[in-house]
Structure 1
Amino acid sequence: MSGMDIGVPVRVALCTLGGTIAMAGTDGGVVTRLTGAELTAAVPGLADTGVTLDVRDVHAVPSASLTFRDILAVVADAEAAVDAGATGIVVTQGTDSLEETAYLADLVWRRPEPIVFTGAMRNPTLAGADGPANLLAAVRVAAAPAARGLGALVAFDDEIHAARWVRKTHSTSTGTFASPDVGPVGHVVEGRVRVLTRPDRRPPLPAAPLDLDRARTALYAVTFDDDGGLLAGLADTHRGLVVAAFGVGHAPAPLAPVLGELAARIPVVLTSRTGAGSALRATYGAVGSERDLRRRGLIDGGLLHPYKARVLLRLLLATGADRDAVAAAFDDHG
C-alpha cells in the first residue's frame, strides 16, 4: 500500500479543467491537450495507492478564463460524485486563478469529503515537470480520512493548504502556493497524509439560486498619489467593490471621500494589498486611515486578501445580501 492508511480501496473523482498540468508541446508552444486518462497514466506510483479514480474531463480551458458558473458546476458535479460513493474529489486546473476558484468552492462546499485542487507550474514537456507529483499528492489527500471536514484544499509541492488562506506567491516557482498568515495545514510525507492543524469551518453559503449577472463586483488597488478618478460612475455599473488599500487599510486623503460616496450606494470592502496580515479597525485616525474609511461606511475585510474578498462579496451579492448581511458575513469570514 501507499502509506495512506486507508486499509481498503477507495474511489476518488478526478475533475480535469485543463491548465499547465494538462498541456503538451506543439511547434507554437504548449496547448491544452492531455485528457484525464493521459494525465493519470503519467503518474508514477498512482496505481499502487489502492485508489480507484473516476476520471471526468470537465472543461479544458486556461484557468484565467474560468468563471463562477464553471466552478459552481464543478462543485455540483463533485457533490453528485460524493453521493455516488466517492471518498473525495480532486480538481486539476491552471494555477492562475486557483487561489480564487478553490476559495469559491470552499465557501459553498457542504460535504465532509475533501475537495482538493491542484495543478502544475512546469508543463510535461519540461525537465522536472511537477504535475505528476502534485496529482499524486492530491489523490492521496482526497483519499485520506484525516482530510475529512477540512473543506476545499490545495495540494501542491507536497504541502496541503486550506483554500481560505492559500495564495499564489510567485509567477514561476514550483513552490508558488503558500499561506502567509498561517502556513500549510499539513504535508504529504513518504506518501502519508499528515494533517497538522484543523482550521474552523464556516457554514456553507448557498450555491443556488444565484443572480451572478446582477452581482458585478469590482476590485480596486489603491496606488501612490491616487485621486480615485478611475472610480467615477462605478456604482452605476457594479453592485459591490473591494478596495485593496495600503498597509493596514489606508488610502490617500483625496481618495477617502470618493470611497465614502461609493459606500453610501454599494457595499465597499476594505482590505490590505500587502498579501499578508489584516486590515485594522481602529488604530489610525487621519483622513484616509482605516478608522476614517470605516466611518465613511467601508466594511472591514479583516484577514481576507483582496482576491478572496471579491469572491466572497460577489457570492453574497448574487444571493441578494444587503449591506448589513455583507458586513456580518465579512465579520465572520474575515
Structure 2
Amino acid sequence: MITVVSLGGTIAMTPSSTGGVTPGLGAADLVAAVPELTDFELTVRSLRSLPSASLGFADLAELHAVVEAELAAGAEGVVVTQGTDTLEETAFFLDLTVRADAPVVVTGAMRPPASPGADGPANLLGAVRLAASPSARGLGTLVLFSDEVHAARLVRKTHTASTGAFESPGFGPLGLLVEQEPRLLTTPGPRARFPIGSRLEDVRVCVVPMALGEDGELLYGVDSRFSGLVLAGVGAGHVPEQVVPVLAELAGTMPVVLASRAGAGSMLTRTYGYPGSERDLIARGLIPSGFLDPYKARILLHLLLADGADRERLRAAFAGFS
C-alpha cells in the first residue's frame, strides 16, 4: 500500500473565476486522473490546499506526523504532492525528520492540469512507482520530477517555468525512470535524522544575501526577534570587508551559518585569508554549511534550534554535510 498526501500547489490547481489558477483538487482527484494508478493499492489524504509559498513549519510538522503514522500503519511508502516553489524545502525537512527507511517521495507539477502538456499525472505516476520500489528504501526522502530521481538534500528548483526545473547541481540525479520503472544508479550516502523540537513554531531563522558593494545595513535589522541567521555569501563563502564587524557582532549573540549563493559546490574553510574570507568568518564564529545551500541550511538550523541545540551540536550537525 502507498499513501498519497496532497498539500495543494500547481499540480492541484484549477482555473479561477477571477483569472489565473488556484488550488482546487485533492489527493483523490489527482489519483483519479491517472488511470495507471489503479494497478496500485493506494490510500489518499488531502492535508492542505495551498500554494507552496504559503506553507509553514506548522504544516510541515503535521505532514511529518501523517507520514510517520501512515508508515507505522503499514504503508510501504508515501508520496507527497505540493507546489514547486518550496518543494525542495519540504523534501529536505522530511529527509531530516522521518525515522523510517521506507521511501518518501515528493513531487508536483510545473503546469496545471488543464494546461496542454500538463506534467502532473506523469510525475505522480512516477512518484508512486518509485515509492513502491524496494530500490528506493533507505535512501531518505526523494524528489521525482520529469522522470528524474533526486535526493532531497541535493535537489534545487533551478528554473521558474520549465518542466525540467529540478536539478541536483554538482551531483546529478540518483537515477531515472526507464519505461516507467525506477533505475537507481547511485545513492546519496547515509543520512542524519533529527527530532522535531518543542519550539518549532517559535524559532525564527532569516536568510540574508550578500552582493557586490553590500554594506551590511540589512544585518543591523537582525536582532533578538530572530533565533539565528543564514548568510548567503558570495563565491565560496565570502563577504565585503565592511560587513565583517556587524557579522562578528551577530555571531556573538546568535548562531550564524555561512552558506553560498553560488548554487553548487561546498563551502571552503581554509583557502582564503583576507578580511571577509571564509577563514576570517569562521574564526569569528560563523558555522560553514558544507554542501547545503542557504535555504536547506535554514531548514537544518531551524530544526536544531527548535530542539535547543548548542553551538557544539550545531557545528557537528553542519559538518555532517561537508
Shorter-chain TM-score: what band? over 0.9
Structure 2 counterpart SS, 1:153: strand
Q: Return the alpha-carbon distance in structure 1 between the equivalents of residues 57 and 201 of structure 2.
A: 11
Q: Which amino acid aligns with 2:8?
A: G
Q: Which of 298, 312, 317 in structure 2 is aligned with 1:329?
A: 317
Q: Which residue of 2 aligns with 1:53?
A: 42
Q: Which amino acid aligns with 1:293?
A: L
Count of residues in Structure 1 that have an aligned counterpart in Structure 2 = 321
How far 1:134 moved relative to its partner? 0.2
* TM superposition outliers: structure 1 runs of 4+ over 6 Å: none
1:278 aligns with 2:269: no
How far 1:45 moved relative to its partner? 2.0
Structure 2 counterpart SS, 1:304: coil
Q: Return the alpha-carbon distance in structure 2 between the equivalents of residues 309 and 26 of structure 1.
A: 36
How far 1:233 moved relative to its partner? 4.3
1:21 aligns with 2:6: no
Structure 1 counterpart SS, 2:49: coil
Pairwise CA RMSD: 1.1
Q: Which residue of 2 aligns with 1:32?
A: 23
Q: Which residue of 1 aligns with 2:281?
A: 293
Does the 8 Å contact 1:235/1:266 carry over to 2?
Answer: no
Q: Which of 246, 252, 259 in structure 1 is aligned with 2:234?
A: 246
Q: Which runs of 5+ in 2 are unaligned?
A: none
How far 1:78 moved relative to its partner? 1.2
Q: Deviation string for 1:268-318 (max 9, x for gaps)?
A: 111110100111001111111111111111111111100000000011000
User: Following superposition of structure 1 onto structure 2, how do residues 209-288 of structure 1 map, counting pairs within 5 Å?
Assistant: 209-288=197-276
* Further displaced range: 217-226 or 196-205: 196-205
How far 1:168 moved relative to its partner? 0.1
Q: TM-score, normalised by structure 2?
A: 0.97
Q: TM-score, normalised by structure 1?
A: 0.94
Does the 8 Å contact 1:44/1:132 carry over to 2?
Answer: no
1:95 aligns with 2:84: yes
Q: Which amino acid aligns with 1:41?
A: A
Q: Which residue of 2 aligns with 1:163?
A: 152
Q: Return the alpha-carbon distance in structure 2 between the equivalents of residues 268 and 26 of structure 1.
A: 42
Q: Return the alpha-carbon distance in structure 1 between the equivalents of residues 146 and 260 of structure 2.
A: 27
Q: Return the alpha-carbon distance in structure 1 between the equivalents of residues 2 and 259 of structure 2.
A: 37
1:72 aligns with 2:22: no
Q: Which of 293, 299, 309 in structure 1 is aligned with 2:297?
A: 309
Q: Which runs of 5+ in 1 are unaligned?
A: 1-10
Does the 8 Å contact 2:58/2:201 carry over to 1?
Answer: no
Structure 2 counterpart SS, 1:105: helix
Structure 2 counterpart SS, 1:90: strand
1:177 aligns with 2:201: no
Q: Which of 134, 149, 153 in structure 2 is aligned with 1:145?
A: 134
Q: Which residue of 2 aligns with 1:122?
A: 111
